[in-house]
Chain A
């Protein structure tokens, strides 16, 4: 009996072009687009800030400061005439070189002007770099001043301090020289989002079965509600797993062809399977409940689509959670998409295994089971008049 149920659902989904587009094409394109769009956010290949310098001092020190600034890869200097695109503008006043070592100054050493859309953290990063470079200039001036009195001081190579590599960054649980990429972030997000779109094929079939009294006919053929639900859960569980495989394949093989970073799918295949099956269970539970409550296919697909978008927006699919304020990050935890996303990120990004994703997997399974039981109770009441 299950074999027939599986065959029937597969044929119906394969013949429904709109469902195929929602299940496979939509997340596939989201993965491609978002992996490429966010590529530079996760690498240091692109300048984070564009700045200009207006040098009124034209001294050796002001020139040196400009040289120091130009060594940074995350800063890009442009000419003053292109200033419409700059994030920050530095004005070096005429008195700059003289004021470098002054104990008490009336005016600040430099003037900074920022565009209104520059984030505070970017200004802080820029200030830190600027402070380090000014400190370097001051040390050089001090070295020059004390050299007549302490001959060894002139032997001190200050550039050595500056160029010295003080620390190395290792990303926890990632291979040496491996860095998190936009693909590692995008693939899990859009896998999760795509999986919840089983609502479209499921509600189309289920509501038509109800309206056309096919469910009633099946019941008169001794098909129980648990058997009927098993016949719904299993095919869509397999369809969801197929989605996960294809989306991972897109991240591993297709994104690099377009110039993006390849996905590294973590080291725990069992963990990946567990989070994927648990999430599928939650997505199917949500879909079955909506399909049971909705009166028409249009109602189910509209409500289902809205719920998916809300779950996605809250759960960190559309906007990554690390961009959200702390209160929103906490609020995000009410969305099952967030649990699934964290599970996938644990596997793909943090290199965790089954043990670490168990809480998310259990929450997803519990959520799916509760919704399925609720749907079964409602359907049973409706079928029995």
Chain B
């Protein structure tokens, strides 16, 4: 589904991504872990065609990202960490706007909007302005907008940052339901527990390099099941060598 080969990205003298190789299969939830500034957001941004890269190749749906960006974008969705919608529009107006600019036809737009509302439990707040919603409700709207084009791949950049634990669980349940719908997800987060809870695989980035890419199960089993992801992450990111 997603194949990343030898990707390098430099900002002037700083190397943000160094020879990244990663494969994500269809229907998989991949957790992208790494300390601040490790290159997670840069990688997600590159996968969306928002940031150019210096070398390497990327293929999504079997199509080269470089040559088929519009087609790949139509079939994927990027959900940023910030609330990337219009605070002075109502929930419904936001959904209609983002459906409209993606040229989703009228009849189809009604369906996808209804689905996005149902999945994210937004029914009670459709006529509320976005600026009057709570943090959790805003994040649900943020995710709902990302579902409007019925994407096959979803990139979620720290969707639970700053959300209280109760609402966080409801958002995680929603994300988990995407897997059941056969969607492929790349998920960046600081919360190890979340990654452990919902992801099938985890890739750990340190200083622009992937130092570990394993299934959660295998990674935890390596430590004879005695450790949790947080401990493993801390060990891996502290170590000088690539242990996976």
Contact = CB atoms under 8 A, between A and B. Distances in A.
B145 to A, nearest CB: 8
B49 interface: yes
Contact of A12 (B49, B51, B88, B96): B88
Contacts of A135: none
A365 B80 CA distance: 37
Interface string B107-141: 00000000000000000000000000000000000
A1 interface: yes
Contacts of A217: 78, 80, 84, 145
B61 interface: no
A219 interface: yes
Given A11-B88, A12-B86, A384 B52 contact: yes
B88 A213 contact: no
A212 B139 CA distance: 12
B233 interface: no
Given A8-B97, A11-B89, A385-B11, A221 B73 contact: yes
Contact of A222 (B51, B74, B85, B97): B74
Interface stretch (B21-29, B98-106, B192-200): B98-106
Given A1-B100, A4-B101, A223-B101, A216 B88 contact: no
A220 interface: yes
B80 A4 contact: no
B84 A7 contact: no
A220 B87 contact: no
Given A221-B73, A383-B50, A384-B50, A214 B101 contact: no
Nearest to B96: A4
B11 A8 contact: no
A306 interface: no
B237 interface: no
B84 A216 contact: yes
A361 B243 CA distance: 68
A141 interface: no
SS class, residues of chain A in contact with chain B:
helix
Contacts of B101: 1, 4-5, 218, 221, 223
A231 to B, nearest CB: 8
A67 interface: no
A208 interface: yes
B45 interface: yes
* Most chain B beta-carbon neighbours within 10 Å: one of A205, A221, A383, A384: A221
A15 interface: yes
B82 A385 contact: no
A167 B78 CA distance: 77
Interface in B44-70: 45, 48-52, 70
A212 B82 contact: yes
A144 interface: no
A339 B23 CA distance: 59
Contact of B80 (A205, A216, A383): A216
A3 interface: yes
Contact of B97 (A4, A15, A205, A212): A4
B160 interface: no
Contacts of A223: 101
Contacts of B97: 4, 7-8
Nearest to B146: A217
A16 interface: yes
A99 B48 CA distance: 98
Nearest to B79: A217
Interface in B123-167: 145, 149
Interface string A3-29: 111011001100110000000000000
B93 interface: yes
Interface of B: 11, 42, 45, 48-52, 70, 73-74, 77-78, 80-89, 93, 96-98, 100-103, 145, 149
26 contacts: A1-B100, A4-B100, A4-B101, A8-B86, A8-B93, A8-B97, A12-B86, A208-B86, A211-B82, A214-B84, A216-B45, A217-B78, A217-B80, A217-B84, A217-B145, A220-B73, A220-B78, A221-B98, A221-B101, A221-B149, A222-B74, A222-B102, A384-B50, A385-B11, A385-B42, A385-B52
Interface of A: 1, 3-5, 7-8, 11-12, 15-16, 205, 208, 211-214, 216-223, 383-385
A-B CB proximity, top 5 nearest:
A4-B100, A213-B80, A220-B78, A217-B84, A214-B84
